[in-house]
Amino acid sequence: MTNQTFAENEFEKCMQNREISWLKFNERVLEESVFEGNFPLERLKFISIFCSNLDEFYMIRVGSLTDYMLFAPDYLDNKTGMTAEKQLDEIYAHTSSLYTRMEHHFTKVTKDLRSRGLYLLRMHDLCPEEGKSVEKEFVKNILPLLSPSIIDSRHPFPHIDNKRLHVGVTIEHKEKSMFGLIAVPKTLDRILFLDGKHRFVLLEDLICHFAHLVFAPYTVRERTVFAVTRNADISMEGNWTDADADYCSFIKKLLKKRRKLAPVRLELQNGVSKDFKSTLAKKLDLKEKQTFITSVPPDLSFCFELEELVDADVRERLVRPVHIPVNVDVIDKKGGSLMKRAQKKDVLLSYPFESVSPFIEMMRQAAEDPEVMSIKITLYRLDKRSRLAESLIRAAENGKEVIVLMELRARFDESNNIEWAQRLDEAGCRVIYGLPGYKVHSKICLITRKEHGKISYVTQVGTGNYNEKTAKIYTDLSLITADRNIGNDAVRFFNDLMIGNLEGEYDHFWVAPNSLKRSVLDHIDEEMRKAKNGRMTIKCNSLADKEIIVKLIEASRNGVKISLIVRGICCLIPGIPGFTDNISVISIIGRFLEHSRIFCFGDGDDMKMFMSSADLMARNTECRIEIACPIYDADLRHRIGGMLDIMLRDNTKAWDLLPDGRYVLRHPGADEVVNSQEMFANTVSIHNDVATKEKSIDNDGTSKLKACFSRHTK
């Protein structure tokens, strides 16, 4: 055994499986549903988010592991050595315990909703008069739209769409027993209010209750609502070659194929007999451990509609006032545009605390500006009503060169991306689709201007997508700069994309897959050379790249102090004596989805600070086109550093990862309550008050802003 192998085996004690780590993350999401500081309907939404997260996890990760077990039996997790089958067994066991906890939280939340005047009712909760009323509604407006089926030798078991709600029944007639199905119509509203807008039942519960009317003259013996989760881990590369004339059409074919992939999970609402469960599971080729029974509706997405549907007097008791991002005044005081402002000083927008509108307005102005020669941008996930995309179309119509790198393979957003790609192409934009085998996940926009015969650049680099909708709920950073060095790297980056060059070298950017990981490792080495004076703070969504994890462990062993803010998957275990005792890991789960990625090496004026589109996972560092961009402006560095310090002090929404792999929620002490997200929202409001009053940089309001940050950076 070599020393290197011995060291790697030693380090395995400091790592955990990524799938189990992800399930722990989703467990933290679920715990937000019982956080007393959240309003009742917000808590129900967190259960819904937990469920949709779990759906996607089964579609992608469980689907992938299922494929590994069948087609790559020798596959082992490179951090824990677990086989695919072992990982799946642990996932199923962990999922079962999560369902139990979800049921408990769901019962508590619906009870709290009732105390505030909103009633989610089951059919047995209705009084006789209400029962008669909904039966009339069912017979008149729902029954005619149902298409029941029975399963026998002449009626084969139909294809069950992914996550499509169905009612399953066992029926008898003349001593003959059969299985029956009813697909819940997508064309009908799932929420049926009984009186006013505060008491309601769900469509599937109604259909299940009146299944005997659907299958008359049969006798219904058992009934339940169920949903099937299918493997959706289909490669968006597929077998596409240049012979396929239309890449969009090819992706459309793959999306159709995805809907036919094998089931990986069965969810049943309400208890049923063992025979019922085993019959349905057998039809779907699923094992008992892949079948879960829960009293919670298999699809909770309806809760996002409730806020708009319920009576106004009930709504104010259910949700806090909608967070409105502050439209910070970043426009040049002499009436110029944001582009003009950026030419004088770098601008940083922090979503969702600050609005995305200034950037969107800048893009609209760029489309009309006669001095703008070209706009180049990478797009990954767009809003269905994207104002940004409309500005790109307008720019092309105005004769500007518009180059759009549209990544069609943004999972579950492929159809929307295809639609926008076609619209952009028809408008005259030049649309390209990236490189085979590498998703373009970077977030960069380059505006090239020619003014008084000179070429200049305005470059925007972000940590999140160009999506106006998610900018209201995801925490992201957006840098807008006229720095010539950054602009030159941006020009080189887009040229490399255009010619399919993955080996481009840049003076300031770190670009995956060629240089980002190498640069991260080199900077960790640099901190190791400082030994006990070494410092690192890294914020990302996931940490799973083994090579980076091993290097972080080495740095810890050399005395480097490392603070990690990792929202989701973290395969590194901190606090292991002699290995990771210089590493701390927190996860912040709050009102907004933590999404920004920030890498800081060193401290003080010598700190090297980067913002990035990349998480520290092998898929990002090795299989995607990602960018990490340096922050050079001293004021912005101070601002971002202050934000990181506040996050590290969060004692309301931060969870500490312990050496045994458990996460423990921090609780405020006697001195101070720190909720980083709420603090940022309040700080930006102070900033906006100052801007709107057009006070000088030294006025009292700005002093309050500085004090808010300095108080948490000491």
User: CA 544 to CA 526: how far, in whole Å?
Assistant: 21
* 355, 296: one domain: no
Please state which of the ranges 110-114, 503-507, 695-699 shows the lowest mean pLDDT.
695-699
Name the domain boundary from 499, 532, 555.
499
Using the Cα atoms of residue 613, residue 615, residue 616 and residue 621 in order, give the sign of their dihedral. negative
Tokens 């069965």 correspond to what residue? 266
User: CA 311 to CA 197: how far, in whole Å?
Assistant: 5
Please state which of the ranges 105-119, 297-311, 317-331, 497-511 shows the lowest mean pLDDT.
317-331
Each residue of 34-59: pLDDT tens digit?
998 899 999 999 999 999 999 999 99
Q: β-pairing, 166-173 with 291-294?
A: unpaired
pLDDT surpasses 80 at 689: no
User: Is residue 568 one of the residues assigned to a domain?
Assistant: yes
User: Is residue 454 one of the residues assigned to a domain?
Assistant: yes
How buried is residue 589: exposed, middle or buried, by Cβ count under 10 Å (0-12/13-18/19+)?
buried
pLDDT surpasses 50 at 106: yes
pLDDT surpasses 90 at 69: no
pLDDT surpasses 80 at 222: yes
pLDDT surpasses 50 at 697: no
CA 425 to chain centroid: 28
Specify the pLDDT at position 313. 80
pLDDT surpasses 50 at 607: yes
* 282, 350: one domain: no
Specify the pLDDT at position 533. 93
pLDDT surpasses 70 at 694: no
User: Is residue 220 one of the residues assigned to a domain?
Assistant: yes
* 444, 587: one domain: no
How buried is residue 606: exposed, middle or buried, by Cβ count under 10 Å (0-12/13-18/19+)?
exposed
Q: Please check whether residue 204 is in contact with residue 184, taking contact to mean a CB–CB distance below 8 angstroms.
A: yes
CATH number where 306 lies: 3.30.1840.10
Specify the pLDDT at position 480. 97
The pTM of this model reads 0.91
Please state which of the ranges 295-304, 453-462, 470-479, 693-702 shows the lowest mean pLDDT.
693-702
User: CA 350 to CA 687: how far, in whole Å?
Assistant: 12
Work out the mean pLDDT of the chain and round it to a whole number.
Answer: 89
User: CA 17 to CA 407: how far, in whole Å?
Assistant: 29
Each residue of 453-511: pLDDT tens digit?
999 999 999 999 999 999 999 999 999 999 999 999 999 999 999 999 999 999 999 99
The neighbouring-strand residues paired with 173 are 176
* 108, 219: one domain: yes
Complete DSSP assignment for 198-265: TEEEEHHHHHHHTHHHHSTTSEEEEEEEEEEEE-----SSTT--TTSS-HHHHHHHHHHHHTTSPEEE
Strand arrangement of the beta sheet that strand 176-183 belongs to: 149-151, 176-183, 166-173, 219-230, 263-269, 291-294
241-242-243-245 Cα dihedral, nearest 10 degrees = 110
pLDDT surpasses 50 at 292: yes
**What DSSP element (H or E) covers 293?**
strand 291-294
Q: What whole-number percentage of the chain has pLDDT above 90?
A: 74
CATH number where 383 lies: 3.30.870.10
Over residues 437-457, the mean pLDDT reads 94
Token pair in block for residue 272: 């049923």
User: CA 384 to CA 49: how far, in whole Å?
Assistant: 20
pLDDT: is 70 or 240 the higher one?
Answer: 70
User: CA 174 to CA 527: how far, in whole Å?
Assistant: 80
Complete DSSP assignment for 269-291: ES---HHHHHHHHHHTT--GGGE
* 400, 518: one domain: no
Number of H helices, E strands in the chain: 23, 27
CA-nearest of 17, 23, 3, 24 to 76 is 17
- The residue type found at 566 is V
Q: What whole-number percentage of the chain has pLDDT above 70?
A: 89
Specify the pLDDT at position 402. 97
CA-nearest of 214, 108, 109, 126 to 171 is 214
Strands (E), 77-187: 119-120, 149-151, 166-173, 176-183
* 311, 395: one domain: no
CA of 155: how far to CAs of 181, 259, 527, in Å? 11, 22, 68
CB-based contacts of 134, cutoff 8 Å, min separation 6: 123, 126, 192, 194, 201, 206
User: CA 255 to CA 611: how far, in whole Å?
Assistant: 33
Name the domain boundary from 465, 499, 533.
499
Complete DSSP assignment for 445-494: EEEEEEETTEEEEEEEEESS-S-TTGGGTEEEEEEEE--HHHHHHHHHHH
CB-based contacts of 109, cutoff 8 Å, min separation 6: 33, 34, 40, 43, 44, 47
Task: Name all contacts of 336-340 with Cβ < 8 Å and 24+ positions apart.
Answer: 337/362, 337/365, 337/369, 338/362, 338/365, 338/480, 339/365, 339/366, 339/369, 339/447, 339/449, 339/458, 339/482
Over residues 83-104, the mean pLDDT reads 96
Q: Please check whether residue 682 is in contact with residue 707, taking contact to mean a CB–CB distance below 8 angstroms.
A: no
Q: β-pairing, 608-612 with 454-462?
A: unpaired
Catalytic residues: 441
User: CA 172 to CA 220: how far, in whole Å?
Assistant: 7
* 381, 456: one domain: yes
Each residue of 520-559: pLDDT tens digit?
999 999 999 998 899 999 999 999 999 999 999 999 999 9
User: Is residue 697 one of the residues assigned to a domain?
Assistant: no
* 220, 355: one domain: no
Residue 334: which pLDDT band, with cuts at 50, 70 and 90? low
User: Is residue 387 one of the residues assigned to a domain?
Assistant: yes
* Number of structural domains in the chain: 3
The neighbouring-strand residues paired with 608 are 601
Over residues 307-327, the mean pLDDT reads 83
pLDDT surpasses 70 at 305: yes
User: CA 337 to CA 480: how far, in whole Å?
Assistant: 12
Using DSSP's 3-state secondary structure scheme, residue 188 falls into: coil
User: Is residue 685 one of the residues assigned to a domain?
Assistant: no
pLDDT surpasses 60 at 707: no
Q: Please check whether residue 299 is in contact with residue 291, taking contact to mean a CB–CB distance below 8 angstroms.
A: no
User: Is residue 698 one of the residues assigned to a domain?
Assistant: no
Specify the pLDDT at position 444. 98
User: CA 515 to CA 622: how far, in whole Å?
Assistant: 10
Q: Please check whether residue 464 is in contact with residue 474, taking contact to mean a CB–CB distance below 8 angstroms.
A: yes
Q: Please check whether residue 109 is in contact with residue 33, taking contact to mean a CB–CB distance below 8 angstroms.
A: yes
* 296, 380: one domain: no
User: Is residue 333 one of the residues assigned to a domain?
Assistant: no
Q: β-pairing, 597-601 with 608-612?
A: antiparallel
* 173, 30: one domain: yes
* 495, 524: one domain: no
* 436, 463: one domain: yes
Specify the pLDDT at position 149. 94
pLDDT: is 631 or 668 the higher one?
Answer: 631
Using DSSP's 3-state secondary structure scheme, residue 37 falls into: coil
- The residue type found at 441 is H
Please state which of the ranges 83-92, 226-235, 654-663 shows the lowest mean pLDDT.
226-235
Each residue of 152-167: pLDDT tens digit?
888 899 999 999 999 9
Specify the pLDDT at position 235. 61
Q: Please check whether residue 24 is in contact with residue 31, taking contact to mean a CB–CB distance below 8 angstroms.
A: no
Token pair in block for residue 25: 């993350």
Q: Which domain holds residue 467?
A: 338-499
